[in-house]
Every structure is written in C-alpha cells, then in structure tokens.
Amino acid sequence: MIEIKDLKKSYLINGNKTEALKGINLKIEKGQVFGIIGKSGAGKSTLLRCLNLLETPDEGEIIVEGRDITKFNKRELREYRKNVSMIFQHFNLLSNSNVYKNVAFPLEIAGHKRDYIDKRVRELLKIVGIEDKEKEYPSNLSGGQKQRVAIARALANNPKILLCDEATSALDPLTTKQILDLLLELNKTLGLTIVLITHEMDVVDRICSNVAVMEKGEIVEEGIKDEVFKSPKSKTLRQFLQSQKGEVIYLDFKERAI
Amino acid sequence: MSEILKLVLPSFLDTLYMVVFSTLFSILLGAPLGIFLVLSDKEGLLKMPKLNSIIGSIINITRSIPFIILIILLFPLSRVIVGTTIGKEAAVVPLSIAAAPFVARVVESALKDVNKGVIEAAVSLGASTPQIVFKVLIKEALPGLILGITLTIVNIIGYSAMAGVIGGGGIGDLAVRYGYQRFRTDILIVTVIILILLVEITQRTGNYFAKKIDRR
C-alpha cells in the first residue's frame, strides 16, 4: 500500500546541514498497524510527516496505491490528503469551534451538503464514543476526549490510512490504553491502515502488527513485531525493551512489598 | 445648554461618520494586506519572502509619516475620489489610508498568534489556502482581531480630531474653533468629555465581545 524508496531529507540548522532521513526504504501493507519507534531526533517524525507531505522530501519516492505522491500537484495533493488523515500529540483542534464544528470541518472543506455533514458527524461522534459532547468546546474536554474528537475529525472523509504523530504521548496510561483500543478497533472494523510513531514501547506492544526501529535517520531493523521484539538487534530497541522490562520488575517489587 | 447641544450634536455626528466609514475602508484595505503578510511569510503557507518584505516596507513607510502630513499629501487623492478636500467625506480618504497599514499589522499579529498545529491539522485534512484563511485563521484569531479593530477605531477617533482641524469638521474641529480660538472653555470641556466617552465605550464594547467569543 505504501512503498518508500530511498527517501532523503535534510535540514539547514544554523547553517549546518543535518540529515534527518538518510535513504529510507520501507513497505507498509494494507491493514497493518505499523509502528515506527526511535529516540528523539531519530527522524521518525520527519518520516511520518513525509507520508502526507507536511514535509517535502529532498530525494526518493513515496508510492501510495501505485502513485508517487511526491509528484502530485497541489490539487492532487489536497485530494490525497483527504484519504490520508493525521492525528497529533497535542490534538490540534479548532479552539473556537465546538466538537460538532471540529468534526464537520473536513466535511465542509470537502464540499459536502449540510444534511450529509449532519448525519456523518453524529455517526463519527458515536464511533469514537463522545456523542454527548457535540456542543462542548475543546477547552472543556479531557485529553482523551480531545483525541477522540481529533480521531473523529480524521475519519470524516473515510481515509484509508491514519497517521499518528505521538498520538498518545500527552495522555495518561489509562487514557492511552483506551485510545489505543479505539485505534485497534478502527483498524479491525474499517480496515484502516495505521502508521504511528512513538517512543512508548507499550504503545507498540499493544497495537502494532509491524515495527521499524530508527536510529539517526536510518531504519536499523524492521519486521513483524513479535519476531523483531524476540531477537532485537539494534541498540535502540534493546535499550527500549530493557527499560520496559525494568518497569515490570519495579511493579513486581512493589506488589511483593504490599 | 441647548446652544451647546446645537453646536456639538452636528459635530458629533460628523465625527461618527468619519470614524465609521474610515474604520470600514481601512479594514477593507488593511485586512487583505495583513492576511497576505501572514501567508507570504517565509514560514507561511505561500512563502513569498521577497514580496512580503516589499509590502512590509511600504507599510512601515506609510506608518512613519506623521498623520497631519499624510493628510496634506493625500488632499489631491481626496479631490479625485470625493471631489473636494473639505468636509467629513474628504477626511475619510486620508483617515482610511492612514489607518490601513495599522490594520494590516494588527491583523498580521492576530493571525500569527494562531496555533501552528491547528493550521497544520487543516493542511493535513486537505484544506486549500483560502479555506484555511477563512475557516481556520480568521475564526481562531477572532478575539485578537476584535481587539485589534477596537484599537484601530480608538486610533481613528484620535486621528479624526486632527483631520477635523484641517477642514474635516467633527468634534476636533469644534474644539479648536470654539473651545480654543473663541475661548469657549465650556465647549472645549464638552468636546473632550465626548471624545473620552467615545473611546471608553468603544474599548469596553471591544473587550466585551473579544472575551465573549474566546473559547480557548
């Protein structure tokens, strides 16, 4: 479904060229929940943002359903973006619009009629489980509710792919679990392909079918999550798995103490 | 008392006329400029840094000309547009043009306050630039825009008093002709009180609405 070929991107920071992506090759199949993990600055955010061209790559191809999206003109890109939605760490909702209006936004810009918008918004709010909040403004919602609104908004135009940019990193563990369950359910019921980046191992563990590990702008290992996690090769993944285990041991200790 | 009223009322209405129309035209001229400044910024949606800096310079130059001189410079333009250089209609021309760059900057700073993440989300949903301007930028910045427009109106009230002196009429003109030149202290005081009230009411109304629609 998504095939990334030799993708390169560099930035000029204070006159110094920094390579964020050093030739990424990656295949993501339809229906996968694909996790990209890595430390801060590994390039995972840049990679994800290339998938809907919020970042323009310097070199390489991104083939989505047979078409190279880096060659799209403005109009094609806007149409493509209606098929590939994104949710964010800080939700990025319209603060002066209520929940209903936030979810209606992508439908309005797609030029749908009022009746359809009304029906679809209610449908979406039901899917994400906040149908009683339609008149609330984002400032009155909890983090989890805000992310639900953002997910409803992202789903409005029936996208095939959902990009998650650290979507649970600002949420508490319980809310994180609920949002992940929702994403997994959407993956199962709608056949939504999900690409997510995170530095939280639990997120990957919980919902990803496949995983890629990034270090300094390169993918150092990738594959089916269970296999990759069983025999981690990269330093990053070994460290991440260790710290995850560390937490488990700590909890055991606490339980024994009680 | 009725004599004062007879003098003050027409002048007050002239001032209102100047303020209302100058505000309207300065927004029509200035707001698109302000929006363009935001879009053309090197981090904006259209990224036209050269044109941005040219327009920015023109705005700065216009803003640095003292208003009284700007009016004199714009007299020929008033004659072309309104047919005269005297009266409230003629004063609207320099007032609008003087306030337009101010509006542009006010709009620019209000729009730049909009959360970048929200704009990015709109881009990621496939919104076009005009859709982002009208459905995201202006909507999200509305409280700031209202405060900015309030500031503009207060400025125009002050400017209109100056414009009055060189033939525009209105409260400022009355204050100078009667209050100052004819030693009518009572009229001077009344005009000053009216200006204070006008500014006070404008500011309070602006603050009220800005606060009311702010849901952040």
Tens-digit pLDDT profile for residues A194-228: 999 998 888 999 999 999 999 999 999 999 999 99
State the average pLDDT over residues A127-154.
95
* Order of strands across the sheet that contains A33-38: A84-88, A161-165, A193-198, A33-38, A210-215, A218-224
* Chain-chain contact of B126 with A82 (C-beta, under 8 angstroms): yes
Give the model's confidence band at A258: pLDDT under 50 very low, under 70 low, under 90 confident, else very high.
very low
Look at residue B119 and tell me whether its pLDDT is greater than 70.
yes
Per cent of chain A over pLDDT 70 is 95
Of B109, B123, B115, the residue nearest B41 (C-alpha): B109
State the average pLDDT over residues A42-66.
94
Task: Please tell me if residue A105 touches chain B, with a CB cutoff of 8 Å.
Answer: yes
Q: Which domains does chain A have, with CATH numbers?
A: 2-257 (3.40.50.300)
User: Structure tokens of B86?
Assistant: 């005297």
* Nearest-Cα residue of chain B relative to residue A48: B124
CB nearest A106 (choices: B125, B139, B213) = B125
Give the model's confidence band at A251: pLDDT under 50 very low, under 70 low, under 90 confident, else very high.
very low
Of A107, A51, A61, the residue nearest A82 (C-alpha): A107
State the average pLDDT over residues A144-164.
96
Q: A192: which strand partners? A: none
Task: Please tell me if residue A72 touches chain B, with a CB cutoff of 8 Å.
Answer: no
The pLDDT of residue A113 is: 96
From the candidates B123, B124, B131, B134, which should be mutated to test the interface with A, based on the most A CB atoms within 10 A? Answer: B124
CB nearest B120 (choices: A92, A98, A139) = A92
* Nearest-Cα residue of chain B relative to residue A163: B124
The ipTM value here is 0.90
The pLDDT of residue A246 is: 66
State the average pLDDT over residues B2-18.
90
Q: How far apart are the CA of B112 and the nearest CA of chain A, in angstroms?
A: 15
Per cent of chain B over pLDDT 90 is 68
Q: How far apart are the CA of B31 and the nearest CA of chain A, in angstroms?
A: 20
Contacts of B128 in chain A (CB under 8 A): 78, 109
* Nearest-Cα residue of chain A relative to residue B139: A96
Contacts of A95 in chain B (CB under 8 A): 115, 118, 140, 215-216
* Chain-chain contact of B118 with A93 (C-beta, under 8 angstroms): yes
* Whether the Cβ atoms of residue A216 and residue A53 lie closer than 8 Å to each other: no
* Nearest-Cα residue of chain A relative to residue B132: A109
CB nearest A94 (choices: B118, B123, B213) = B118
Strands A210-215 vs A33-38: parallel, antiparallel or unpaired = parallel
Those residues whose C-beta lies under 8 Å from the C-beta of residue B183, and which sit 6 or more positions away, are none
Tens-digit pLDDT profile for residues B183-211: 888 888 999 999 999 999 999 999 999 99
CB nearest B126 (choices: A79, A97, A137) = A79
> Chain B: which residues have CB within 8 Å of chain A?
115, 117-118, 120-128, 131, 135-136, 139-140, 142-143, 213-216
* Nearest-Cα residue of chain A relative to residue B144: A96
* Whether the Cβ atoms of residue B115 and residue B74 lie closer than 8 Å to each other: no
Give the model's confidence band at A242: pLDDT under 50 very low, under 70 low, under 90 confident, else very high.
confident
* Nearest-Cα residue of chain B relative to residue A136: B215
Helix H or strand E encompassing A11: strand A2-13
Q: A28: which strand partners? A: A2
Give the model's confidence band at A69: pLDDT under 50 very low, under 70 low, under 90 confident, else very high.
very high
Q: How far apart are the CA of B142 and the nearest CA of chain A, in angstroms?
A: 9
The SS3 of residue A66 is: coil
Tens-digit pLDDT profile for residues A185-198: 999 999 999 999 99
Of B100, B64, B93, the residue nearest B77 (C-alpha): B93
Look at residue A248 and tell me whether its pLDDT is greater than 70.
no
User: Structure tokens of A75?
Assistant: 């109009």
Q: How far apart are the CA of B45 and the nearest CA of chain A, in angstroms?
A: 11
CB nearest A78 (choices: B128, B135, B140) = B128
Q: Whose structure tokens read 């390489």? A: A60
In the predicted model, what is the mean pLDDT of chain B?
Answer: 92
Domain ranges of chain B: 2-213
Tens-digit pLDDT profile for residues B78-117: 889 988 888 888 899 999 999 999 999 999 999 999 999 9
State the average pLDDT over residues A27-43.
93
Write the CATH number of the domain with boundaries B2-213.
Answer: 1.10.3720.10
The pLDDT of residue A249 is: 45
Give the model's confidence band at A247: pLDDT under 50 very low, under 70 low, under 90 confident, else very high.
low
- Least-confidence region, from A13-17, A232-236, B120-124: A13-17
* Chain-chain contact of A110 with B126 (C-beta, under 8 angstroms): yes
Look at residue B56 and tell me whether its pLDDT is greater than 80.
yes
